[in-house]
Chains A and B, each alone.
Chain A
């Protein structure tokens, strides 16, 4: 069972064996949760979004073509949905774009509770201070073992552009981090 690839499992889900989605859930929900949590800084919202991603995987299973990696498809759906979600919340709460960014604000209390270690907490805060696009590309490349080609597909841009984005995001992260720790960037 475990030797089945994600692609073949998702093809089976597409062809009507929807129970197989359980295996894909077990394999990937943790990673998806962490992606969304690092992006939003909100545990409950991230869990809701994970559930919604899997609902959509079922809903749009007929459109799965099996050409790209399953995880690429999953992240694409998560990204599209996150945008919807934020838009909905913005309409409800009448938030501006700047305020939406603040979902990952460094002082978000769940984040504080989650990360014990002081150094790690500061780094997490520094990550939270990055603009959403930079945070996203960094999370994808650092935490999810995705190749630059896959990230490019998820973000809908070229591979060289992904590399440049990761590098610039790292520079900004370092600035933020040194600002928080009181060190000076070299």
Chain B
């Protein structure tokens, strides 16, 4: 065996994958070739150390993300499946029901028409069923509010952003939702989330607590971006109650210059 051939066997030799004959060949070469012997020893030492490198653990978020993805995929499948099989089932059913001879087909059609009219007359929608629909609608609405509130309490900024955008699906916010949005606008550590909350609150600006919350929050904000967005919104709402606060801002010399100028602009618009 040549040196090169022997050396290419080294990795398998080290991991014990060689069969007896091949192993014997390698070892008998090593016995007579000092160069290969040295090469083997020094590489084998590194190979052994390499095997001792400890494996790393991924973060728990990886598992959570995987199962969320899998669940989403399964739901997608479950929704897609019935459509396909229903169509087939319905097709075979209908073809069995309809008679083959045209005369009978006509008779069946007339019969169905009469049945339809009589049925329609007796089955006028009762007030109860429309009640049920309304109740259902309300439940969905409540659920959206719940989702929004719980998303707003999440650790990750992107989840909270999602929460803010969920609030767009709510037509009539309950006090809990409004207070969660106001809370987010006031205290969320992430500027983007606070800005999104201001946008979302704009939709509910007819509510006096929202306007009051905006005015109270304005001087407490530390981000110029957020303050400017608030001033713009207050001007857009023609909220004259904010004049005092805006005056305070224009006189605060420590405040960001751009914000001060914006407040001045707001004052002119409102007064």
The interface of chain A, by Cβ under 8 A from chain B, is: 16, 18-19, 21-22, 25, 29-31, 33-34, 37, 43, 46-47, 50-51, 54-55, 58, 114-115, 119-120, 123-124, 127, 138, 141-143, 147-148, 160, 163-164, 166-167, 170-171, 173-174, 177, 185-186
Residues on B with beta carbons closer than 8 Å to the beta carbon of A174: 42-43, 46
User: A3 to B65, alpha carbons, bound, how many Å?
Assistant: 26
Please name all residues of chain B whose beta carbon is closer than 8 Å to the beta carbon of A141 when the two chains form the complex: 11
Residues of chain B within 8 A (CB-CB) of A119 are 49
Main secondary structure of the interface of A (DSSP, over half): helix
Interface residue? B239 (CB, 8 A): no
Tell me whether B106 is interfacial, beta carbon within 8 Å.
no
B67 cross-chain contacts in A, Cβ below 8 A: 22
B8 and A164 contacting across the interface, CB-CB below 8 Å: yes
Among B10, B17, B58, contact of A167 (Cβ-Cβ < 8 Å) = B10
C-alpha gap A138/B52 in the complex (Å): 14
Within 8 Å by CB of B58, from A30, A127, A163, A171, lies A30
Q: For residue A50, give the distance in angstroms from its CB to the closest CB of chain B.
A: 6
B53 contact from A51, A124, A148, Cβ within 8 A? A124
Q: Is B62's CB under 8 angstroms from A173's CB?
A: no
CB nearest to A123 among chain B residues: B49
A173 and B46 contact, CB distance less than 8 A: yes
Give Cα A120 to B49, complex, Å. Answer: 8
CB pair B55 A170 closer than 8 Å: no
Contacts of B47 in A (CB 8 A): 142, 170
Partner of A120 from the list B8, B9, B52 (CB cut-off 8 Å) is: B52
Tell me which of A51, A120, A166, A177 contacts B65 (CB under 8 A): A51
Judge whether B176 is part of the interface by a CB distance below 8 angstroms.
Answer: no
Residues of B participating in the A interface, judged by any CB pair closer than 8 Å = 7-12, 17, 38-39, 42-43, 46-47, 49-59, 61-63, 65-67, 69-70, 73-74, 77
What 15 additional pairs, Cβ within 8 angstroms, besides A25-B66, A37-B56, A47-B59? A22-B70, A47-B61, A50-B66, A51-B69, A55-B69, A58-B70, A114-B56, A120-B53, A143-B55, A163-B9, A167-B8, A167-B10, A167-B11, A170-B10, A170-B43
Residue pairs across A and B with CB atoms within 8 Å: the count is: 103
Interface of B is mostly: helix
Residue of B50, B53, B57, B77 near A30 (CB, 8 A) is B57
Whether B70 lies near A21 (C-beta < 8 A) is yes
A171 interface neighbour in B9, B43, B65, Cβ under 8 Å: B43
Q: Is the CB of B55 within 8 A of A30?
A: yes
B205 to chain A minimum Cβ distance, whole angstroms, is: 39
Within 8 Å by CB of A127, from B50, B55, B74, lies: B50
Q: With the chains together, A164 CA to B73 CA distance in Å? A: 43
Return chain A residues, CB-CB under 8 Å to B8. Answer: 160, 163-164, 167
Q: By the criterion CB–CB under 8 Å, are A33 and B62 in contact?
A: yes
Chain A residues, Cβ within 8 Å of B50: 123, 127, 138, 142, 173
Complex CA–CA separation, A138 to B47 (angstroms): 10
18 contacts between A and B (CB under 8 A): A18-B70, A18-B77, A21-B70, A25-B63, A34-B56, A43-B56, A47-B58, A115-B54, A123-B50, A123-B53, A127-B50, A141-B11, A142-B50, A143-B53, A160-B8, A163-B9, A170-B46, A171-B43
